Structure 1
């Protein structure tokens, strides 16, 4: 299990706000996607002509998100911590915490989990996790996302 989650700084956009001046709930999924794309490029490569997990194919099968506090627009990015919560033969789940970076504050805005399936678009079917991918994902393992409903 990883000692601390992987963390990405994700900038907010003015267009993320809703009529109440908060980052809109659906925009949180974009923030998670931005963090995931950055993480996948770092974890699995993709620079200098290498094929990455994103190039080979990965589909979102499920999102679950719990909003903790309103996030208002500001110029400072938010910190998205990510870790692997579960792995199967052809997919894995990623947990997230959406927080203030340490130098900005101590706000905690959301926790979430995404189920991903590796997909072979040429064959039009899911594909197995390669051993090298599994080794990377194992290094990112962490606890289940502490959703409040699980404590009931």
Structure 2
């Protein structure tokens, strides 16, 4: 199973009063990685996939250990644990390097493709499904299912 690696910079403003990255900031890290992952398929090749929109229906995060500010990025690894007809579950690990066994956070996000013009959810296209299947790990244990 392939994992998508997103190098995420830490910002001075990410820290809280205790000197570590605030728990809410992890959602921004996940968003940056998810957007980069999903939009790899779309605009560059002229594909309309995912460009029409998507919405987050749910997040779950387990904070494993504190992450302190530093000048090197963390890696947000992203993969897919479930592909439904009109939703998908993305899993993440935030760590120092792709090979690192020390994890700062584990998370899952339930994403629903969305038709912005019609203002309603839509089905996952065949092209999107083909792309997502490259990152599918159905043996992974997601905390929730779509």
- Give TM-score scaled by structure 1 length: 0.85
Give RMSD over aligned pairs: 1.9
1:138: how far off?
1.1
Question: Which of 66, 71, 94 lines up with 2:67 in the alignment?
Answer: 71
Aligned residue number for residue 116 of structure 1: 111
Shift of 1:51: 3.6
1:18–1:145 Cα change, 3 Å: farther
Q: 2:85 aligns with which of 75, 86, 89?
A: 89
Give the structure 2 partner of residue 34 of structure 1. Answer: 32
Q: Give yes or no for contact 1:8–1:35 (8 Å, CA) kept in 2.
A: yes
Conservation of the 8 A alpha-carbon contact between 2:95 and 2:102: yes
Structure 1 segments of 4+ aligned residues over 6 angstroms from their partners: none
Match of 2:44 in 1: 47
Quote the residue 2:127 is aligned against: 132
Q: How many residues align?
A: 142
Unaligned runs of 5+ in 2: none
Query: SS of the counterpart of 1:122?
Result: coil
Q: C-alpha displacement at 1:52, in angstroms?
A: 4.5
**Deviation at residue 59 of structure 1 after TM alignment:** 0.1
Task: Kindly indicate whether the alpha-carbon contact (under 8 Å) linking 2:113 and 2:124 is maintained by their aligned counterparts in 1.
Answer: yes
**Pick aligned residue for 2:23 from 22, 25, 37:** 25
More moved, 21-30 vs 119-128: 119-128
Gaps of 5+ in 1: 148-152
For each residue in 1:50-69, what CA deviation from the matched residue of structure 2 results, as whole angstroms up to 9, or x when unmatched?
5441x301000000000000
> More helix per residue: 1 or 2?
1
Q: Aligned with 2:43: secondary structure?
A: coil
Is 2:14 aligned against 1:16? yes
Aligned position for 1:150: none
